[in-house]
Amino acid sequence: MEFRLLGGVEVWHGGARLDVGPARQRCVLAVLLVEVNTIVPVDRLVDRVWGDRAPQRARATLHTYLTRLRRALPGVPITHRSGGYVLSTAPETVDLHRFRALVRQARTSATDDVETLFAQADDLWRGEPFEDLDTPWLTGVRAELGRERHAADLDRTDLVLRRGGGPALIAPLTGRAQRHPLDERLAAQLATALYRAGRQADALDHLRRVRSRLRDELGVDPGPHLADLHRRVLAADPRLTEPVPRQLPAAPTAFAGRADDLAALDPNAPLLLITGTGGVGKTWLALHWAHGQRFPDGQLFVDLRGFDPTGEPLDPDTALRGFLDALGVPPAAMPPDTGSRAALYRSLLADRRMLVVLDNARDAAQVVPLLPGTSGSTVVVTSRDRLAGLVTAHLARPLHLDVLSEVDSRAVLARRLGTGRVPDDDLLEWCGGLPLALALVAGQALAHPGFPLERPDHGDLSTVLSWSYRALPPEQASAFRLLGGVPGPDIGVAAAVAATGRPESVLRALERASLLTAHVPGRYRMHDLVRRYAADLPDQDRPAALARLLNHWTRTAGAARLPLDPEPSPIPLAPEGSFADDTAALRWFDTEHECLLAALRTTDDDLAVWHLVWALHPFHFRRAHHGHQVESWRRALAAAENLGDEHALAVAHQLFGHACSLVGRLDESLAHLERALERGRDQRFEGHVRLSLAATWFLRADNGRALEQAHDAVRLFRAAGDRLWEAIALTAAGFATARLGDLDRARGLCAESLALGRSHGNRHGVAGALDALGVVAHEDGRHADAVEHHREALALHEELNAPHSAAETLERLGHPYAALGRTAEAHDAWRRASALYRSQRRLADADRVASRVPPGS
């Protein structure tokens, strides 16, 4: 049964809405649900339902209402206890309590799902709480809930801003600011979003209006935060465009002891190195210490998987990409090679006070590219290796962990089990002071209340694992064995259920036994020593489990591709599930990306390889994962050859060739695109190949050949009846023609593209055609026309939340403004373009455009 209070008071059961009586009876239900599982005295119930208008027989009437509610809500106990009444149900069945729980979880979570939790909380609201009821008490609760929702909205917005968001927040923040005009925190959020959208003047105007209103209505000046923000917007402080990452996993709940080790960790030291044997608690210590420190510019965390038994250690380039993404570098601005990415990473950390945790490093070579170039931040490295190179060459402060003392071991178990269940000394000795062993013992004790806390025999960590494993029921033991062999650093619930054939409750049981860890909501991973033990256990169902897992991933990835690009695969596959929009699809790919790549590296199933690469293609393009694009299409090319599918092979040559052009391998790109032409079998496919060839010749600065290929693409798309791609090809031809100096012809091609794009509702294509028309008009001396074209393109880019294209349009817009003598508008356009470029980490572009604006103008 589901109870709804965040709107009208409603009860739903089995998809149907139940009739719970007239307004006053629903007031009784609302009071009991607000105080669910709590005894509400009769006098308090009467006061909350009627206020000072209670009838003479209020208690009798209340009893009647309660009797009717019991009949209307079968199976929901409303009982009389100690002079009052209590409605007993799980709090999560009441939307109000679910809202509060989700907000609490979001505020305390250290995972990447925080925004999802806030979104789930907000989705519960259907209107004003108890909107059709009006009593003094409910009015007060309604006002308090409004304040809670507003506070949650502010927290959620802060999270989005910390992650580099901005332009997409302007519309909702503007409406919220109109409802709360004196809220300084909200005012700062809107000003920041405006600034990040390149609207510096609007941000300053908003801050000035808030300051005036505070003075006029309250007689006070803005607080220090708002005043500081005003100064930073005036100065175009680049940090306004930089997110504050918070990547630390949650702090360990059962931490105890290690006082001397904690004291040895200096937060002012540039590089700390924690070493020790597997299971001794290196990460446990690092996280506990890190959560007690203050690093105002954020925290970065990565598991380098240095000793992962099922795969290769994480390469530094992948870790750098993750860090740059967390620091707000958009995919289109990601540098092309590891050295450039490392340089940008060091630049972004310069003069910052950040914490960087590099967990589970295999060797110094894995760590060095991830070290900042200045000493303002602190890096904590954990490893089983002593990493002498970090100590000698980088002056790391080493801390080698020994096992826990008996006193600390006992304290760890007491934190997990309470002081009532005291283990004997032999058991503590048997665990060897290893936090991992103690966690396994505690997990078994919690899962099995009758578990004897005494030493069964002599052993080490493998013995502890075998003991924990033998205590598992058969279905849990089977799931444990199978999960030990799956590819990837972790696994989601749906994938784990598909692989093991067991429900999620089995995963939760393994977590309670400390054999799995839910490191973020809905995702599980194993300690690498536990994983190695599980993988070594024989299980004849393991190949079938991997096949089930691969089938789940390929079919779900196929469904996730559809909102990004509905183009059908040359080799059909029935998708599994659905995704509401491209945001949901991208979020799924972001979450599963490492697992899908691991599957591609380990499977020899060519059909699955093809389907995974095909599904990943638009995601890799959107996220500018060009290196992954190249490697995955190389794998798909080999798979298509093995499958003997000529159409798939032609497509693989085309998309591999296009991927090569994105990383500057232009000769290789041309070779594969020519092979695709040789194998093509229809006009539409050949049109795509010709368009890719045009792009590659553009990059080779051969505008003549680029124009030739673009014209061929136009002809082929037109013959195939694909008007959308015909419009895109026309814009490409227009740009090439303009580069060759034939402006009249270029204008005609772009105008034709614009008309086609508008007739087919392709707003991205329309924006591109308008931009091209603006360039042509400016080159032709028609500067007023150029301004209009670029302004119209800019409005579309902003509507489509395409800041990358908006920055380029703003830069172009400045030139016709300057040619018309409208200097102030030119400088404003270039200032906005520079701010957008800087927010996208396109620093060379930002500096180039900023240099056009004289200081003080």
H, E, C per residue of 503-550: CHHHHHHHHHCCCCEEEECCEEECCHHHHHHHHHCCCCCHHHHHHHHH
Residue 96: the pLDDT is 95
Examine the domain organization and report whether 6 and 118 are in the same domain. Answer: yes
Confidence of residue 166 (pLDDT cuts 50, 70, 90): confident
**Cα–Cα distance list, 839 to 54, 326, 807, 834 (Å):** 60, 13, 10, 9
C-alpha 630: how far from chain center: 24
Q: Which range has the worst mean pLDDT, 29-33, 77-81, 789-793, 796-800?
A: 796-800
Domain stops at, among 630, 659, 681: 681
Contact 734, 772 (CB under 8 A): yes
Residue 485: the pLDDT is 92
Contact 839, 166 (CB under 8 A): yes
Examine the domain organization and report whether 8 and 99 are in the same domain. Answer: yes
C-alpha 208: how far from chain center: 34
Examine the domain organization and report whether 394 and 419 are in the same domain. Answer: no
Pairing of strands 299-303, 355-361: parallel
**Cα–Cα distance list, 19 to 9, 25, 26 (Å):** 10, 11, 10
Examine the domain organization and report whether 13 and 109 are in the same domain. Answer: yes
Contact 29, 9 (CB under 8 A): yes
Contact 644, 677 (CB under 8 A): no
DSSP 206: H
* Residue 235: inside a domain: yes
> Can you say whether the dihedral through the CA atoms of 682, 687, 688, 690 is positive or negative?
positive
Q: Which domain holds residue 587?
A: 540-681
**CA 500/CA 510 separation, integer angstroms:** 13
Task: Look at residues 448, 591, 571 and name the one whose alpha carbon lies nearest to residue 519.
Answer: 591
Examine the domain organization and report whether 176 and 220 are in the same domain. Answer: yes
* Residue 689: inside a domain: no
Sequence-ordered list of residues with C-beta below 8 angstroms from that of 298, at least 6 positions apart, any chain: 162, 243, 244, 245, 246, 247, 352, 354, 355
Confidence of residue 455 (pLDDT cuts 50, 70, 90): low
579-631 pLDDT, tens digit per residue, is 988 888 988 998 999 999 999 999 999 999 999 999 999 998 877 688 899 99
Q: In sequence order, what are the beta bridge partners of 398?
A: 273
Is it the case that residue 752 has pLDDT exceeding 90?
Answer: yes
Q: In sequence order, what are the beta bridge partners of 184?
A: none
Residue 269: the pLDDT is 93
* Residue 843: inside a domain: no
Contact 616, 585 (CB under 8 A): no
Is it the case that residue 548 has pLDDT exceeding 90?
Answer: yes
Pairing of strands 84-87, 40-41: antiparallel
* Residue 558: inside a domain: yes
Domain stops at, among 400, 429, 460: 400
**CA 814/CA 818 separation, integer angstroms:** 6
Confidence of residue 664 (pLDDT cuts 50, 70, 90): confident
Examine the domain organization and report whether 307 and 355 are in the same domain. Answer: yes
* Residue 594: inside a domain: yes
Examine the domain organization and report whether 112 and 10 are in the same domain. Answer: yes
C-alpha 836: how far from chain center: 22
Is it the case that residue 512 has pLDDT exceeding 90?
Answer: no
Examine the domain organization and report whether 665 and 557 are in the same domain. Answer: yes
Name the more confident of 568 and 468.
Answer: 568
Examine the domain organization and report whether 433 and 444 are in the same domain. Answer: yes
Q: Which CATH number belongs to the domain containing residue 286 in this structure?
A: 3.40.50.300
Q: Which CATH number belongs to the domain containing residue 587 in this structure?
A: 1.25.40.10
Confidence of residue 522 (pLDDT cuts 50, 70, 90): confident
* Number of other residues whose CB lies within 10 A of the CB of residue 293: 12
Phi-psi region of 236 (alpha: psi -120 to 50; beta: other; left: phi over 0): left
**Cα–Cα distance list, 353 to 70, 262, 527 (Å):** 59, 20, 30
Q: List, as one string, the DSSP characters of 417-432.
A: H-TTSPPPHHHHHHHT
Is it the case that residue 351 has pLDDT exceeding 80?
Answer: no
* Residue 771: inside a domain: no
**CA 370/CA 399 separation, integer angstroms:** 20
**CA 376/CA 420 separation, integer angstroms:** 46
Domain stops at, among 400, 422, 437: 400
Longest Cα–Cα distance in the chain: 94
Examine the domain organization and report whether 172 and 273 are in the same domain. Answer: no
* Residue 375: inside a domain: yes
**CA 281/CA 574 separation, integer angstroms:** 45
Mean pLDDT, residues 528-549: 93
Contact 718, 740 (CB under 8 A): no
Mean pLDDT, residues 242-267: 86
- Whole-model pTM over 0.85: no
Residue 806: the pLDDT is 85
Average pLDDT, the chain: 89
**CA 794/CA 167 separation, integer angstroms:** 13
* Number of other residues whose CB lies within 10 A of the CB of residue 65: 21
Examine the domain organization and report whether 517 and 548 are in the same domain. Answer: no
Q: Which CATH number belongs to the domain containing residue 33 in this structure?
A: 1.10.10.10
Examine the domain organization and report whether 361 and 374 are in the same domain. Answer: yes
% of the chain residues with pLDDT over 70: 94
Is it the case that residue 517 has pLDDT exceeding 90?
Answer: no
Q: What total number of domains does the chain contain? A: 6
403-439 pLDDT, tens digit per residue, is 898 889 888 888 887 766 666 666 777 788 888 888 8
Tokens (6 digits) for 8:
């009208």
Is it the case that residue 856 has pLDDT exceeding 70?
Answer: no
**CA 542/CA 310 separation, integer angstroms:** 14
* Residue 461: inside a domain: yes
Mean pLDDT, residues 7-23: 90
Pairing of strands 523-525, 491-492: antiparallel
> Can you say whether the dihedral through the CA atoms of 154, 160, 163, 169 is positive or negative?
negative
Contact 189, 157 (CB under 8 A): yes
